[in-house]
Amino acid sequence: MQELNHILNKMTELLQQLSGILHTEQMILIENYLVHKLGNIIDEKNQLLIKLKILDEQRIAIGKELHLASPYSDNEPLANQWATIVKSTSLLAQMNRDNGEILQQRLDQTRQTIDFINKSKKTNIYTNGGYQKTETVSTTRAKV
């Protein structure tokens, strides 16, 4: 029973860490600041999700040994802890979906910008040096 309690405590701790990571991810996506760190944030998030999955598998295995299953109705402390985990998981899943929508909007905007640039490429708005191209009336000198 103590081992199951320890696993639930560890899951709660990891969910709190995940909350911080998702919040940081959301701030980066909204503010478009420190975008270069987004890959690291996503890696950290994935590592936490893997750890949570492993802990959940351990929780299920120990629960089978002890003949206990979620929502742990027969044990009030475990039931309360499990309810907190379920609520946190639901809130974090929604936050992750929101981050996904923000990211999709960014990708759509980037695609539109690339399409515009590609369409405008034909008219050569900028030179290879990045300067605006000036109109050339003629490339040959006029003879006087």
Alpha-carbon gap, residue 39 to 71, rounded angstroms: 35
Q: For residues 15 and 66, which has the higher predicted lDDT (pLDDT)?
A: 15
**In-domain check, residue 52:** yes
**In-domain check, residue 28:** yes
**In-domain check, residue 131:** no
pLDDT digits (tens, 9 = 90+) for 121-131: 665 555 666 66
User: What phi and psi values does residue 109 have, to the nearest 5 degrees?
Assistant: -65, -40
- Look at the chain and report how many structural domains it folds into: 1
Contact between 23 and 93 under an 8 Å Cβ cutoff? The reply is no
pLDDT digits (tens, 9 = 90+) for 27-50: 998 887 777 888 899 999 999 999
**In-domain check, residue 132:** no
The predicted structure's pLDDT at residue 144: 53
**In-domain check, residue 144:** no
Q: How far apart are the first and last CA of the chain?
A: 102
**In-domain check, residue 141:** no
Q: What is the 3-state secondary structure (H, E, C) of the chain?
A: CHHHHHHHHHHHHHHHHHHHHHHHHHHHHHHCCCHHHHHHHHHHHHHHHHHHHHHHHHHHHHHHHHCCCCCCCCCHHHHHHHHHHHHHHHHHHHHHHHHHHHHHHHHHHHHHHHHHHHHHHCCCCECCCCCECCCCCCCCCCCC
Residue 64 confidence class, pLDDT cut points 50, 70, 90: very high
Q: b or e along 27-42 (b: 16 or more beta carbons within 10 Å of the residue's beta carbon)?
A: ebbeeeeeeeeeeebe
- Residue 33 belongs to a domain with what CATH number? 1.20.58
**In-domain check, residue 129:** no
42: domain range?
Answer: 1-123
Indicate left, alpha or beta for 136 from its phi (over 0: left) and psi (-120 to 50: alpha).
Answer: beta
